[in-house]
Amino acid sequence: MSVTAQIGTGIAAQDAAITVENVSHSFVSRDGAIVQTLDNVSLDIRRGELLCLIGPSGCGKSTLLNIIGGLLQAGSGQVKVNGRPITGPSPRELSFVFQDNTLFPWNTILDNVKVALEFQGVPENERQGRAEEALEAVGLTEFRNHYPHQLSGGMKQRASLARALSLKTDIVLMDEPFAALDEQTRIYLGEELSILLAKSNKTIILVTHSLAEAVFLADRIVVMTARPASIKAIIDVKEDHPREPAFMASGRFADYRNELYGFLRAEIEKTVGGFVGSAAARDRTRRGISESAGDAP
């Protein structure tokens, strides 16, 4: 078990697919109130690694991901992708799997992927083949002429994954892609994802709120503090890909998980404590959290 204490690690520039330099960000709500979401975040994401972002709900993970993807403007600081500062969406370099279901309900699964390719600027005669290939990779060939509402939650997430993978970007940003699913399905899809990605050598940032998912999938796990998010710790998970389900039952897995939870606990308490208010309620919540931390992945 090893914790890299330094933040924004000094990797050689050519190794970094993405560099986040001193990024801060605030939302201004309609009534003029300012909500600071990111506080001076610096981070290098190495080429080919799978980096997990984990942190309390509402801390700013999606915001960070959207800034990296060029969908939101940083208040200060900057993000570079492949050495170039990001100023807007960069669909040839990075693709998204969003937190909520974003398949177009008016298109079939196949057309959803083809439309994505059209948006990215892929010539028309290549779209069909590439879309079918991507659906094949996630095991949805049979369902390619179904509409999203005819698929289960897990299938929809796989379709979203296929859509992102069909774009063949070197970088994929995933925002809790399995959050809406039950634990078993999530673990299963995680395994599949691990196998799929081990072959592809893509750079992945994966936001998750599942400790097990983070440890199972990540090369490095970035723990964020409560809002405004800054980087609390970075955990290196030294384990080869693809990872076997047996890894989940190992002592090393439990150690990583406990270490991760140790970092998160104080931050979650800040979030939940502030939300609940009274000391008695906070006590009850604290017990609730430590109970849920005890369950096996």
Partner 1 sequence: MNSMSSGWQARAIQIGFVAALFLLWDFAGERKLINAILLPAPRAVFWKFIALAQTSALYTHLLVTLMELVLGFLIAAAAGLSLGYFIGRSRYGTIVFEPLLAGVFAVPIVIFLPIFLLFFGIGPSSKIAFGATYAFFPIVLNTIGGISQVDDRYVRVARAMGADDVQMFRRVLLPAALPVIVTGLRIGCIIGFLSIIGSEMIAGIDGLGSQIVRLGEAMNTAEMFAYILFVIFFAILLNTGLSHLQARFAIPGDGR
Ligand X SMILES: Nc1ncnc2c1ncn2[C@@H]1O[C@H](COP(=O)(O)OP(=O)(O)OP(=O)(O)O)[C@@H](O)[C@H]1O
Which residues of the chain form contacts with partner 1 (CB under 8 A)?
69, 71, 89, 91-92, 95-96, 98, 100-102, 104-107, 115-116, 118-121, 147-150, 167
**Is 37 near ligand X (CB under 6 A)?**
yes
Place of tokens 């796989």: 158
Cα 162 from Cα 135, distance rounded (Å): 6
Q: Using the rule CB under 5 A, which residue among 37, 62, 169, 194 binds Mg ion? A: 62
Residue 27 binding ligand X, by CB under 6 A: yes
CA 86/CA 76 separation, integer angstroms: 13
Let me know: does 96 contact 66? Beta carbons within 8 Å.
Answer: no
Contact 159, 203 (CB under 8 A): no
Using CB under 5 A as the binding criterion, the count of chain residues that bind Mg ion stands at 1
Distance of alpha carbon 258 from alpha carbon 274, whole angstroms: 24
Contact between 62 and ligand X per CB under 6 A? yes
**Least distance between partner 1 and beta carbon 121 (Å):** 6
By beta-carbon proximity to partner 1, the closer residue of 45 and 272 is: 45
Q: Tell me which residue has its CB nearest to ligand X.
A: 62
> Tokens representing 153?
């939650």
Q: Which of residues 91-130 bind ligand X (CB under 6 A)?
A: 99
**Tokens representing residue 1 in the block:** 């078990």
The beta strand positions in the chain, using DSSP E, are: 2-4, 16-28, 34-46, 50-54, 76-81, 84-85, 94-97, 171-175, 203-207, 220-224, 231-236
Does residue 63 belong to the site contacting ligand X (CB under 6 A)? yes
Check binding of 57 to ligand X (CB under 6 A). yes
Q: Looking at residue 229, what DSSP letter applies?
A: B
Among 158, 163, 227, 257, which residue sits at the site for ligand X (rule: CB under 6 A)? Answer: 227
Q: Choosing among partner 1, ligand X, Mg ion, none, which partner's interface includes residue 60 (Cβ < 5 to 8 Å by kind)?
A: ligand X
* Nearer to Mg ion among residue 134 and residue 204 (C-beta): 204
The CA distance from 57 to 226, in Å, is 8
Instruction: Confirm or reject binding of residue 61 to ligand X (CB under 6 A).
Output: yes
State in angstroms the smallest separation of the CB of 181 from Mg ion: 16
Q: Rounded distance, CA 196 to CA 175, Å?
A: 18
Q: Do residues 48 and 16 touch, judged by C-beta distance below 8 A? A: no
Out of Mg ion, partner 1, ligand X, none, what residue 275 binds, judged by CB under 5 to 8 A for its kind, is none
Residue 177 as a binder of ligand X (CB under 6 A): the answer is no
